Structures are given as structure tokens and as C-alpha cells.
Amino acid sequence: MFDKILIANRGEIACRIIKTARRMGIKTVAVFSDADRDAVHVAMADEAVHIGPAPAAQSYLLIEKIIEACKQTGAQAVHPGYGFLSERESFPRALEAAGIVFIGPNPGAIAAMGDKIESKKAASAANVSTVPGFLGVIESPEHAVTIADEIGYPVMIKASAGGGGKGMRIAHSSSEVAEGFARAKSEAASSFGDDRVFVEKFITDPRHIEIQVIGDKHGNVIYLGERECSIQRRNQKVIEEAPSPLLDEATRRKMGEQAVALAKAVSYDSAGTVEFVAGQDKSFYFLEMNTRLQVEHPVTEMITGLDLVEMMIRVAAGETLPLAQTDVKLNGWAVESRVYAEDPTRNFLPSIGRLTTYRPPAEGEFGGAIVRNDTGVEEGGEIAIHYDPMIAKLVTWAPTRAEAIESQGEALDAFAIEGIRHNIPFLAALMAHPRWRSGNISTGFIAEEFPEGFVAPDPQGAVAQRMAAAAAAIDHKMNQRKRGISGQMRDPALLHFERDRIVVLAGESYPVTVDAVGGTLLVTGEDGTTWTVSSEWRPGEPVWQGEIAGTRVAMQVRGLLNGVALQHAGAAAEARVYTRREAALAALMPIKEDAGSGKQVLCPMPGLVKAILVKEGQEVKNGEPLAIVEAMKMENVLRAERDATVSKISAKEGDSLAVDAVILEFA
């Protein structure tokens, strides 16, 4: 076994690997760029080596820098994590030449499987079901259109060296193929240093299901069940679960056996994932193989009880797999949400800045469910523009799917982040969505269910009642605090105006009566229903946690003038608690409307201007592309929302812009 390993990565996956290495008694070496000098993974590791400037191409992607760090620290092996150099064949070859072990598959397997075009050829030769498509390299937009016309629309344009949704476009027409080809090539070049793309048929209403495999250096390969990754946005996974609600045991075995056959065909000897696109009828086709540890590996760990990082380290050191296929047992259900620094109300555009508040939910076992949070940030840390916007992976396990989803929703409600925009409200809304809960999902789920984008809905029904009860409890606590500070001497019983309150929640009025019995609050609604409310919440805490009518509840709390903003179960609302007279007067107050800025195109997130596609004086049509802005390795095309004439252009190619900076103006 190794004495010391280097992690050629950053963020949450570097922290994840360090945890396992530490448990195994292996020393760790972190590498870091200028942007990550104060990062969590640097502090966690036993040693850390600086490898260059912030851009990945000048630091994390430089093989010679990683090898130099190994020699400097005496690290005997390197774990690449995911992304960066993890699927680059030249990396393990260079490590081998330097006498350093690669904790991953052999270079031949990476060459055969890591290249999306070559992997489809290998899969076809191994009798694995494959999607119809053109497996050659496409040289031009015209060539791509010709191929797409032959295959039939819709088609998927994909980077051969791609992953993580980058370098990937769906096209429904020849014009979309031409534009998608250019964008996919450009993203592929900047993300992977390889601009080759290919085209394949896009299966309508598909599900994305993947099989986790692991092999050793003695010819043994097994599969560890499947993961359902159909909840995606822009081809990037948002929520994953294991097992899949679609599969039965026979289909699972069939997919697993094909995945193992493919892995054995290329002498696969580490952890890897064989991805399939599946029809709702349980038909399935090979999509690609990821020759690395997947972002979503925790859900497999939770249902199998295995540590995939430990298994990767052990097989890299020459050990035999510790179990056979018949020993693999799936237990319970696990759900993972990817918490991203992005604004769901602005079409999920990336957000950067300092985490002024970062309070994840407590990890461990709660009422038969388990909460796990894989993260690489801490309060006070900064989300930089240079890397992937992932903040954390929140994972919950429970005996059943419904219980795992319920636990995930509660954990999301208890996850407080401030200082940047994030997608927790969206994830919480997904957990409450009836279609997701039913398991009737596809990769088109988000586009179909949120066609106009995401706006947190107003609370309804039981959710609104819980929020109103919590608002009354928060108001009561705040009033108690004020009375304590001023040293009031008074009867312990509540006065009439303190008992009779009106909670105004998202514009709706909820008349309630509040009674205090010991440390418990009784909140009675207009219909006579009484909710027992108890909580240890204190003013200033970002999350209210307690029990309402015997049910454990968590919700986000943010202070407002004369009230609080609450988020719970995907709903969001401003809440204010009044006396009856105050409520009557508040209803008469005018509401100030925000002024519009329809004549300007603003930068939707901090980013780099890749191209300005129009000129001053040019007439543009609704939907016409105006500019391309890149942030966190993704290119975003800004389009005209109406017919107009460009009067002024305020930005140029290469400019780094802040959010809401003016790019151009219309006459």
C-alpha cells in the first residue's frame, strides 16, 4: 500500500479523496493554483504544492507540474478525481514513465473508452447496444448538417473528449446543427484541449441510466448496480439517485452484464461508469464510458456500503477486488442533489462571490435516514470564475425512495448559503414536485416542467400553513427578545394584541391566535385548527428548525424590514406578522414597482465576452444572437428578445464583465 498519494484536483472531490486516504493511514498531497491558495482541500492535506496561475490550462491541466509536485513531496501515486486530467491518456503514461502509479484505469482502457468515438466502436464490437450515429470525426458545419439530415432529427452534437455537459448540443434543425457545431467545438477546445465532435441520434423522452463498474489488475470486473441521472439541465446532471425507479432486476442484470463485457474487452482495471440512454420501455443503448470516478458516486456508495475511492486505491496498489458479483447487495435508496453557485431565476447563470454564510445541514443518521454532504468550501470562502460552480453534493439515504426524497427535501431546507446566488430553492422545489416523486421522469423533465424558467412558487396548502405558523413563532420570539432587552416588568400572560395576530404571507392573510404554554407555542388558525410549534431557533440564525404539529420542519429565514423572508419545501414568501389594526393599515400602503431596463442587454453573470455578434446601427430580429459570454467553462449566447436596432455597444471581445454590466443598448 502507498504511504503518500497526491490528488491532482481541487474542491469537493479533492476533499473527498483526502478523507478516505486519511482513514486508510495514507498521507496526502494537495496541489493548488493562485485562486485556491486558501481552499479547504489545501488545508485538509498533509502537504500542499503551488502549481501555477488560476486558469486550469496554466495549473491543474499541466502534467509536468503534477509530476514535479510528486517528485518534490515523494508521493508514490496520483488520484486524478474527475475532470481536469482524469480521462487524458497521456497523463497515466507520463506518470508511469516517472515511476508514479496512476489511481485509475490503464492508459489503453482510457484510449479505448475515454474517446467517445472510439468507445462506441469498441462497444459495438463487444455486442453492446449502441445508438445510431456517425462515429467519424466531423470536419465542418456543412458536414455536420449532411450527417444530421441522414440520421434524422433531433440529433446530439457531442465533444469526443467531453464530459460534464460541456461541448454538447441538441439540434432540431439544420440551422441549429450549424450553430451547435461551432459552440460544441469551441467549448470542447477550451475545456478539454480537443475540439473533435461527433453526431448521433437523440432518443426522445429518454432516461439517463449508468452502471458503476470496478475492475482490478487480475482480470476481475464487477458492476455495483445503477444510478438514474435523468434530471438534467443543459445536459448536466442536477439530481441523481440509486437505484433507478425504472429498472427491474432482469433489466439491471442485462445492463450490468453488458457493462462488464465492455470493461473486460478493454482490460478495465479501476472504477468506471458505463452510461446508457434508456427508453421508457426499458430498452437501452450504450452512450459512453467515463473512465474515472463519477461526481455522483456517493449514491452508489450509500446503497452498497462500499467506499469507491478506497477500492480504487487498493486495486491501483495491486490488490484483488474484495468481493465477487454475487456479494453485491443493494440496500435502500439514495438521492443526491448538486448544489451549484448559479441563479435559478436567471436561467441558471453562474454566480460568483464570497460565501458570507455557509451552513450545511448536520451530517449523520436522523430518524432512520442518513445525511451526507460532500463539499470543498467553507464560510468566508470565495466561489471563483475559473472553475466549475459546484458548492456541494448533498446526499440522503433511507430505506425507501419516498423516505430518501423526504429526507433530501428537509436537508435542503436546512442548508443556508448567502453571499452568492445558488440553486437550493430550485432543488427543494424539485423534491416537492409530484412528477419527480412518482418516478415518471426523463432527461426532458426540467425543460418540460419549467419551460419559462424557475421562480420559487408561493406557498400553498399545508406548506403555507407551516410557514404561517413558523412566522408567528419567529415574531413571538423576536417580541420576547425585545421585551427582555428593555427589561419590561409585566404579567407573564400574553396581552390581547399579542395573542390576536395576522400573518401576511405572500400577500395572503392568515388570522391566528397565539398562546404560550411553557416552551411551546400554540398557534390557532381561523378555522379552529391548532398547531403546536416548538423550536430552539434564536434571532439571527439563518435556518429555523423545529416541530410543527409533531412534524420535523426546517426552513430558511432571512430578515426583512418588519418581517422575514422564508423558504420551505421549494416555496418562498415574505412574511410579516401584524396586530389586527396594523394589518388593516398595511393593506392600504402602496407597492413600489421596479423600473424596467428593456432597452439594454445586461451581462447576466460575471464572465468573459467571447464575441460581439452585431454592430452599431444593425437591425436585429427577435431571437437573433447578440453576444457570447463565457463563465465557468460554459458559453452562453445572449439573444434579442424583440425586434430592435442596436444603438450603442459598450463591451468588446475579451472584456471581463460584472453581473448586470451593460453590453449593448437599443434605440
Cis peptide before 243 (omega within 30 of 0): yes
Bridge partner list, 545: 554
Q: Which residue is catalytic, options 200, 288, 336, 342?
A: 288
- Integer-rounded Cα Rg, in Å, for the chain is 27
Compute the distance between CA of residue 68 and CA of residue 454 in angstroms, rounded to an integer: 46
**Strands lying side by side in the sheet with 364-366:** 284-290, 271-278, 207-215, 221-233, 236-242, 333-340, 390-398, 369-375, 364-366
DSSP labels, 168-186? EEEESSHHHHHHHHHHHHH
Which residues are CB-neighbours of 596 under 8 A, at least 6 positions away?
none
Distances (CA, A) of 211 to 275, 296, 642: 6, 12, 45
CA 347 to chain centre: 14
Q: Is 357 exposed, middle or buried (0-12, 13-18, 19+ CB in 10 A)?
A: middle
Whether 630 sits among the annotated catalytic residues: the reply is: no
CB 76 within 8 A of CB 408: no
What does the block give as the cell for 250? 432482469
E-state strands within 106-259: 133-134, 155-163, 166-171, 197-201, 207-215, 221-233, 236-242
E-state strands within 34-117: 47-52, 77-79, 101-102
Measured in residues, the chain has a length of 667
State the number of CA atoms in the 13 A half-sphere of 25 facing the CB.
1
Nearest Cα neighbor of 430 from 448, 34, 659, 46 is 448
What does the block give as the cell for 412? 435542503
Phi–psi pair at 538, nearest 5 degrees: -125, 145
Q: Is 518 exposed, middle or buried (0-12, 13-18, 19+ CB in 10 A)?
A: exposed
Range 597-601, long-range pairs (CB < 8 A, 24+ positions) = 599/665, 599/666, 600/662, 600/663, 600/664, 600/665, 600/666, 601/626, 601/627, 601/638, 601/662, 601/663, 601/664, 601/665, 601/666
Q: Is 7 exposed, middle or buried (0-12, 13-18, 19+ CB in 10 A)?
A: buried
CB atoms within 10 A of CB 396: 30
Residues involved in catalysis = 288
